[in-house]
Structure 1
């Protein structure tokens, strides 16, 4: 299975998808300098509200597109390999690159904040920023098998429209309500309130009446992360079973 994982990584070598993994965090950090006093707040807020979900969706859709271009998976289905494991390795590759780009975003922020522009914006401990990046990664993992399935089933455009729109409309809207645990898209957004004290609209949590410091208990934080992992494993397994039954068109 490790061999298939390495093969999936090699397929993405010199592709546009892999370049986006570097370009996306750099872009959001450059944009954050437009308001230097909120440098870190904006860099994280724009990252998890727009850039990360968009990157995730686009990356998964592009991975399917690369396989579709290669004779519509005809280079895969005839091979004496487990299609279930092949599908899981694709998801593993997506998760691997997603955590790399998440920590690249965090690393560049730490580098700029502490060594280049120490007086720009508010100061957050490095451990707090690393925790936020890890939590965001864990909270969106479940979208990888979902987006890969959407792309295989309905195509590139539908995947972008469905997942990114659901994140913006459902995730952002419900993240500040009492029903945030019921919407997987809201989990990462809501957890940034207690972890980074950042409201979905970019305001500092607790600083204004429009951005109250929402009550989020330790147990609800742990529950949302556990649910995210369970959903990720469940969707990975179900979509792998679905893919195993596919045939060459």
Structure 2
């Protein structure tokens, strides 16, 4: 499996995907910095509600285009290799890149906190960044599937557009756990004290109930594994177009 991962990483050498690892987290940091004293809360809210889903969507499309654009996967399907492992390595490589982006983001948060008055404790910020990565992993196999089927426009519209609508509709209700797009936003309420609308939650707000944290984490991991298995089996049966 390590060789498959190394091969996928090599394909991304000197590509825009590698640059996105740094560009994507810088965007919400700049937006947050311009908003004034609530640098951390605004940066976090922009990151997990909008920028990160868009980043995952674009990364999935670019990953697909490396094999799809010129040879329509002929260079992959014609080799005596495991197509399941090829797909899983693509998913895991994107997951690693996304995790690095979250690390870049939290470094920016800590650096920016010296310049702005911010209400988020360091431990909470670190935990928030880590859990954003964990609870967003499931989007990667989904977006890679969408990228191969629908291309850039369809992937972004569904993962960012439809995802944002589903997040808004469910996140503040008791049925938040039904919508995967609500999981990250909901568990950030008790961790960071940020409400779904980006405002600070007051002490005693029911949305700050920490009981949602393990639920969101478990559901995210289960969905990630299921989507990776289902899409890997689908990819194994794909043929060259």
What TM-score, normalized to structure 1? 0.92
Residues of 2 paired with 1:174 and 1:181: CA distance?
8
Instruction: Find out whether 1:205 has 2:201 as its counterpart.
Output: yes
Alpha carbons 1:65, 1:156 under 8 Å: kept: no
Residue among 169, 172, 175 paired with 2:171: 175
Alpha carbons 2:39, 2:112 under 8 Å: kept: no
Residues 43, 204 of structure 1: alpha-carbon distance in 2 compared, 3 angstrom cutoff: same
Instruction: Find out whether 1:214 has 2:229 as its counterpart.
Output: no
* Corresponding residue for residue 9 of structure 2: 9
Residues of 2 paired with 1:144 and 1:196: CA distance?
24
Q: CA deviation at 1:73?
A: 0.5
Residue among 223, 227, 237 paired with 1:245: 237
Deviations 1:171-227 (A, max 9, x none): 1321111110111110000111100001121111128xxxx8234544432122111
Alpha carbons 1:193, 1:214 under 8 Å: kept: no
Alignment map for 1:58-77 (pairs within 5 Å): 58-77=58-77
Any stretches of 5+ residues in structure 1 without a counterpart?
none
Deviates more, 1:231-240 or 1:158-167: 158-167
* Corresponding residue for residue 229 of structure 1: 221
Instruction: Find out whether 1:193 has 2:189 as its counterpart.
Output: yes
Report the 3-state secondary structure (helix = DSSP H, G, I; strand = E; otherwise coil) of the residue aligned with 1:75: helix
Residues 174, 231 of structure 1: alpha-carbon distance in 2 compared, 3 angstrom cutoff: same
Residues of 1 paired with 2:167 and 2:226: CA distance?
20
Report the 3-state secondary structure (helix = DSSP H, G, I; strand = E; otherwise coil) of the residue aligned with 1:84: helix
* Corresponding residue for residue 140 of structure 1: 136
What TM-score, normalized to structure 2? 0.95
Deviations 1:120-166 (A, max 9, x none): 13243322111101111111111111110111122221111111112
Residues of 2 paired with 1:223 and 1:113: CA distance?
30
* Displacement over 4 Å in runs of 4+: none
* Corresponding residue for residue 27 of structure 1: 27
Question: Aligned residue pairs: how many?
Answer: 241
Residue among 131, 148, 151 paired with 1:155: 151
Alpha carbons 1:166, 1:185 under 8 Å: kept: no
Alpha carbons 2:49, 2:185 under 8 Å: kept: yes
Residues of 1 paired with 2:21 and 2:44: CA distance?
16
Residues of 1 paired with 2:205 and 2:169: CA distance?
16
Residues of 2 paired with 1:136 and 1:238: CA distance?
23
Deviates more, 1:61-70 or 1:195-204: 61-70
